[in-house]
Every structure is written in structure tokens, then in C-alpha cells.
A and B are shown apart, each in its own frame.
Chain A
Amino acid sequence: MNGSPDVPRREQGVALVVALVILLVLTILGVSGMQGAAMQERIAGNLKEKQRAFLAAELGLRAGEAYATANTPNDPCTQATVPACGGINAVEASPGEVAPEFAFELPREPALREITTATGATATGAKGGARKLYAAHYQVDATGSAGDAASAVRSDYAVPLF
């Protein structure tokens, strides 16, 4: 056919067109597959960063609670002395420790709270009747970050005074 001098050599381009069409189809398939994979990876990455930020904030919260515990005076506050149970307010203004991944703060004065009425010996060993137990009550705010994700948590934390 091609050898015939009368035939225009038109259909020689068909192979190119067919190849291009097939290539186009394969490219569309490949790109859509890549997009799906990239989306999945973004989801997984975001989830991971969110978890890390949350855990860092949780760590900050733990650090803040430990700080509150360590800085609350250990004096047994008896019922009589509670209104003047001094020294506790000193913790209030502390900025908290700051690490790259997390930070915490204790934004307000701890409040004294009656937690229970116990019967029996006091902390100093004296025998007594009913006795009220108190706790210093803090609010701890912590933030954590990982990559672009950030997380903020707050806890109400009581340190028993006995």
C-alpha cells in the first residue's frame, strides 16, 4: 500500500496519535494515583503532628503539676490555721519552665479547698476527732507544638495539704 505511488502517505502519523492518546490516559491515571497517595500522606502526617503536639502539651501539663506539687509548702494546715496558711501564694507568679516543645503556666493564685473531713490521727501524730483536710487548688495551662500543629490543654489540679 505504502509502496503505491498514488497513495498520499497520510496514515503514517496514526501511530504517533495513538501513542500520544495512550500516554495521556496513562499519565492521567498516574497523576490521580499520586494525588491520592499524597493526600493520604498529608493526612497521616497531620495526624502524627497533632498527636505529638497533644502529647507535648500533656507533658507540659505534667511538668506544671509537678512544679505545683514541689512548690506547695508541706506544712500540715490544720483547720485553725488554714485562712493564714501562708506561703502558698508564692507559687502563683512563677512563669513555668519553657522547653522547645512545650510550656506551662500557673495563671492564678492557688485557692484553698476543703477536700474531706477525716477522723483519726493528724499528720503530726496527735489523736483527734473530726478534722478537715485542705488542698491547694491550681489551674495549670500548657501548650505543646510539633511542626505546624499546636495544642493547648488546661487542668484543675489540687495538692493535698496534709
Chain B
Amino acid sequence: MRMQTAQRGFSLVEILVALAISLVLLAGVWNVFLASRQSYRTNEALSLVQDNGRYAAGLLARELRLTGYKGSCGPNTTINNLLDPDGTGYDPALFDLDNALQGWNNTLPVETFTQGVNGYMAGTDVLLSKHAGLLTSLTASGNTPRNAANINLTNSTSGIAKGTIVVVSDHLGCDIFQNGADASASNLNRGAGGTPGNIPLKLFSHQYEGDMEIYTFRSALYYIGAGTDGRPALRRRLFDQGSASDELLADGVEDMQIAYGEDLNGDRRVDRYCPADAIASWRDVLAARVTLRVASRTADILDVDQALTYDDGAVDPDPDGCEATEVTPDTSDRRLRQVFTTTIALRNRLP
């Protein structure tokens, strides 16, 4: 047997020196690890915040740009309302396309249609927007006389669920009614029934021909409500089907502040941006400036409390007019927060 004398062991000094060196090395590596973990957490939170913020701002921008759209019949033509004003749940605020925009500053209005909103966060703005900008691929078959109960389609199935509110238009005028036919039917029906339902036998605004454009109606109340884990989120309450349904749009949106661009002298140009309670006439609102505050899902992302102050975007040259209100949120939970602001022209009210 050849026993080597190699495994002599280490002397105490050698072990101490080796331990000291490896401790120093380990401490360095640990620091690098901590720093990179921190930056990963911050990056991920930032990505999520920006993702949610971009989505929310983009969605609101699209909806607001379309606000008041009535198809071919322009802003000067009054829409012919076939919906039953005495029907269940009918409210002109929800279904009158001629008055398509309304907002409330830092408060949820006490109305029938705001009953049942999901966890409204106090102190945030509420927005109600309506348009008929959801174009369907349907085409009418032949003429539709004024007294017709059905609009016959060239399509074999309409795909429009029973109860959906529909806007039809051509260059002569437009009508709004609730579809009473099934999605599998080859026509749209404006008979009685439904919520709110139609006025029986009320006539179309005029006789339509094959060039009728068929849109579905969008009526939505945007608000900050309860999201995942009870955290605030951008939600909307849809009235597209007459009765309300509520949906979550973007998690983490904590605050929505809107300043509306109002035209005061009738030249179709914005003269001031003011919060909802200072708006004299909603029909003269031509633009909306939306400010959203978005927070990360996880707390304790940051090492210090984030210094964050923003305002609601109000600008008024008149010294007696409205003033911008500053908001300084509580950031002691050390979530990462970002403020998104976008100004959107209401395309259907521009000259």
C-alpha cells in the first residue's frame, strides 16, 4: 500500500486566512445579489405599472375620441330615440347620444345607474361616455320602411345578442333601439320587451335603404373601484345591453382626475380646462385631459417614501375661474407609483 503523506490537514492560521478571504468574497457576492434582486423587483414593478398605465390611458383615449359618434348622421342631426323612456332602467344620461359626455369631480353621483358599482374609491373622478363607434360587419337587405319592426340582413346570422342596443344610420338620419332578435337570427328586431325596451310602433326617422350602417352602442361609466386583492383599479360599468354589467379594466390605477376642455365663446376651440363641477355646458366640452396614478402591486419596492405631487390638469386663464387642485398621495407603503397624463380631443365635436 502506498500511503501518501499529502493529507496533512491545514494549520489553524491557514484556515483562518482562508475563512477571512472567503468571507470577504461572500460578502461582496451577497451585496451584488441583493442589489440585483432589488433592481429586478423595481424593474418588474415598473414594467407592470407602465403596462397598466399605458393600457388604461390608451383605452380611455380611444373611447373618449369616439365619444358622441352617431354613425353617418353628424353632430347636428338629432338621433331618433326608439327606446322606451318609461322602461326599466332607462335614464337619458345612459342612452341619449346627443349628450354623450358627462363627468363628476371626486364623487360618485347618487343615481339609479350607479347603484352596485364595485367598491368606488372616494375622491376619484367618474366619467360617463357614450358612442356608437362599434361598427358591425352587417349589411341591410333591401329597404327598411319607417314602420318596419325588423331590419332584414344579408348576413345569415346577425351575431348581435338579444338585448344589445343598436344604432343604425345613413346620411339622412339615425335611430337607436334595442335588438329583440336572437344572435342567430338574420334580422334585427325592435319589438317590445327587454330592458329598457322599445316604444311599440314608434316610427324610424326615415326609410332606410341598403346602405344603412349598423353599429352597436357603447355606454360606459368609468370609475376607480375594486381590483384584484381589493387594491384600486380602473373599472367600468357597461350599459351596452341596457342592463348594467361591470368589468375590471386595469389593476393598480389608484386615482383618475379629469379636466375637461370647454369652449366658452362658440368658436369650437378650447378656452379652458376645468374639473367636472366647473363645467357650464357639457355640450361645449371638446377635449378631456385624463390623469391616472398607477401603483405597483407589491409594497416595499422602494427604499424611501416616493415624493409624488401632481394636479388634476386644470388650466384657466380667467383668474376668477377654476384652479388646478394638487394631489399628494400617501406613499408610505413604498409602492412604486407613476402618473400618466394624456389630453384627448373629442373628435366628433371638433370643427
Binding site for B on A (CB under 8 A): 1, 4, 6-8, 22, 25-26, 29, 32-33, 36, 40, 43, 47, 111-116, 135, 137, 155-158
Contacts and interface: CB of A to CB of B under 8 A. Distances in A.
17 contacts: A1-B10, A6-B6, A29-B32, A29-B36, A36-B47, A40-B47, A111-B171, A113-B74, A113-B171, A115-B74, A115-B76, A115-B77, A116-B76, A156-B71, A157-B74, A158-B74, A158-B76
Nearest to A69: B351
Nearest to A108: B211
Given A137-B74, A156-B71, A156-B74, A113 B172 contact: yes
B32 A26 contact: yes
A29 B347 CA distance: 47
A26 B33 CA distance: 9
Given A26-B32, A137-B171, A156-B71, A113 B77 contact: yes
A34 B60 CA distance: 32
A88 to B, nearest CB: 13
Contacts of B43: 36
A46 B36 CA distance: 27
A33 B77 contact: no
B14 interface: yes
Interface of B: 4-6, 8, 10, 14, 29, 32, 36, 39-40, 43, 47, 50, 54, 71-74, 76-77, 171-172, 347
A32 B36 CA distance: 10
A114 B74 contact: no
A6 B8 CA distance: 10
Nearest to A36: B43
Contacts of B72: 137, 156
Given A8-B6, A114-B172, A155-B347, A1 B14 contact: yes
Given A1-B14, A33-B39, 20 more contacts: A1-B8, A4-B8, A22-B29, A29-B36, A32-B40, A36-B43, A47-B54, A113-B73, A113-B74, A114-B172, A115-B74, A115-B76, A116-B76, A135-B74, A137-B72, A137-B171, A155-B347, A156-B71, A157-B74, A158-B74
Contacts of B73: 113
A113 B50 CA distance: 46
A7 B8 CA distance: 9
A77 to B, nearest CB: 15
A25 B36 CA distance: 11
B74 A7 contact: no
A116 B74 CA distance: 11
State the 10 A-B residue pairs at the shortest beta-carbon distance, nearest first. A111-B171, A137-B171, A115-B76, A158-B74, A113-B171, A29-B36, A6-B5, A156-B72, A7-B6, A36-B43
A55 B205 CA distance: 36
Nearest to A29: B36
